[in-house]
Amino acid sequence: MNKLIGKLWGFIILNIIIIFAISWIFQVVFFEKYYVYQRTKIMQEELNEVSLMIQNSISSDDILNEIIDFGSASNCLVIVTDENFNINYTSATQIKNNNPIILENVKYIKTQIQPQTQKTVKSFKTQGTRFTSIVMGNSVNDAQKGYVIIQSFMEPINETTSVLKKQLMIVCLFSLLIGSCIAFILANKFSKPILEINEASKRIAEGDFDTVVSVKSKDEVAILAQTINHMSKQLKQKDNIKKQFIANISHELKTPLSSIRAYGELLLDCDIVDNNEKDKYAEIIIMNSKKLNNMVEDILELSEIQSGNYILESSSFCLIALIEDVLNDINALAAEKNVQITLETFNDTLLITADKDKIHSVFCNILQNAIRHSNLNGIVEIKLTNIDSNLHICIIDNGDGIPKDKLPYIWDRFYKVDKSRKSEKSGAGLGMAIVKEILKLHNYTYGIESQVGIGTQVWFDITE
């Protein structure tokens, strides 16, 4: 038996046993006490009733009818005596007044009660360890008008207790048998989805991200299954992004490396290459080397930031001057597509305190992306506004836009909206991931909005 099933089965059976144990205690142990409490309450009421009738000099026939009716209905023996304990009436009309049981009760109460006793005398007759009867007595008008004695026999409760014990034993055995079967079925039912989730988790851990847990219930187990399915979906997405990155980075590395190798081999063949051609080939080799260097630097920068060991080097600097430096760096890229970049600001001498190099990287990556995804002869706008004492920066392009379902993944490393691998359209898929990590380090809020066919705007807020 599976450990989980065994534990569930044992837990259910234990609950059944506890329920029966509690039932046993209350029905067998406390049942007698409850019965005695109820009987004494009824007997007390009858004592008061008969005493009041005698005290008010009600007729003998009415008193006799009262005690006979009560004795018959409650299975009690009621005795009324005079002040000298001579028997006047009994509820058992078929028994003579000199019956040993009647005489014994009168004698017992006589020894326990005094004429001036106002409270009821209550006592139990026992035989071994069992109660045989409850005897209660009460004086009427300080015994000037006699005594009222009631005896309730305990045989019915003893018989009932005995029957209950046998009945509970039989019911307990049958319930344990049936409960064991039901518990085993329920344990299997409860544990099955958990075991399925466990197996699915193992398959996911082995790389099978197409695994789906099917749970039809609507309880917490179903919520766990949905979480596992969501995790599998996300892992599959991340795995696809990583595979795409490997493919992209392989292409990105292969292209400049192939150019470097080809033009390097041409330079080696000095006999067929004139000086002008040599300079041209050397420039191509240098350009592709820079491209490779930038790519490696991006990977190293992202790894450094995500390692958690990077410490910001904050300083105060002019943001407008930094943006102009970035524009100079990317001027060649913008010229390739004849993209015009405009800057709109409310303060030409705007000072901020941040890590200058990292903020430079933020603008550089966002603007490079904007240029790559802009149309020919397009426009990229940089807008700086003051909103609620925060510096709001928005970079807007008029490119193809990004589908809404892909926006959440823009900030993921290795992610590329364009799967075409065209260098002029996209980089290695690290730029926006670097931007996100830098902005998080500065505790800046950021976001992206886009409409297909209209363009994209990336924004972030700098708080002082």
Cα Dmax for the chain: 154
Q: Where are the domains of the chain?
A: 3-162, 220-291+295-301, 311-462
CATH code of domain 3-162: 3.30.450.20
- CA separation (Å) from 407 to 77, 137, 248, 394, 451? 92, 92, 20, 17, 10
Residue 265: predicted pLDDT: 76
327 Cβ contact list (under 8 Å, min separation 6): 341, 343, 367
**CATH C-level class of 220-291+295-301:** mainly alpha
In the predicted model, residues of the chain with pLDDT beneath 70 are 1-5, 27-29, 93-98, 105, 112-132, 141-144, 155-158, 160-161, 164, 245, 248, 251-252, 269-273, 414, 417-429, 464
Residues near 77 by Cβ (< 8 Å), separated by ≥ 6? 71, 90, 91, 92, 101, 102, 105, 150, 151, 152, 153
- Give the containing element (helix H, strand E) for 440: helix 431-441
How far is C-alpha 69 from the chain's CA centre?
64
Size of the chain, expressed as the number of residues it contains? 464
pLDDT digits (tens, 9 = 90+) for 410-448: 887 767 766 554 444 455 667 888 899 899 989 999 999
Looking at residue 196, its pLDDT comes to 80
**Architecture of 311-462 per CATH?**
2-Layer Sandwich (3.30)
pLDDT in tens, 75-92: 888 888 887 778 888 887
pLDDT confidence of residue 326: 92
| Fold matches, 3-162 and 311-462 | no
Distance, CA of 299 to CA of 139 (rounded, Å): 105
Tell me 407's DSSP state: G
